[in-house]
Amino acid sequence: MRGALSALLTAIIASGAVIAAPASLAHATADPPVAAHVVLINRPAISVCTGHKFTVGVWFQRSSGGSRAYRIAVSGPLHRRFFYQAGRAPSSHWRFWHVLAGRSGRYKIVYSSHRPGSRKWTRFVVYTRAHRCNGG
User: Residue 106: how many CB atoms within 10 A of its CB?
Assistant: 16
For the domain that residue 6 is a member of, what is the CATH number? 2.60.40.1930
DSSP state of 15: T
- Domain annotation covers residue 120: yes
Ordered per-residue pLDDT tens for the chain, 136 residues: 433 333 333 334 333 333 333 343 443 333 444 444 578 999 999 999 999 999 999 999 877 667 899 999 999 999 999 999 999 999 989 999 999 999 999 999 999 998 777 788 999 999 999 999 986 4
Query: Which of 80, 79, 38, 83 lies closest to 61 in space, CA to CA?
Result: 38
pTM here? Answer: 0.73
Q: Provide the number of structural domains found in the chain.
A: 1
DSSP 30-60: SPPS--SS-EEEEEPPSEEETT-EEEEEEEE
- Domain annotation covers residue 63: yes
Partners of 70 in the β-ladder: 87, 113
> What pLDDT does residue 99 have?
97
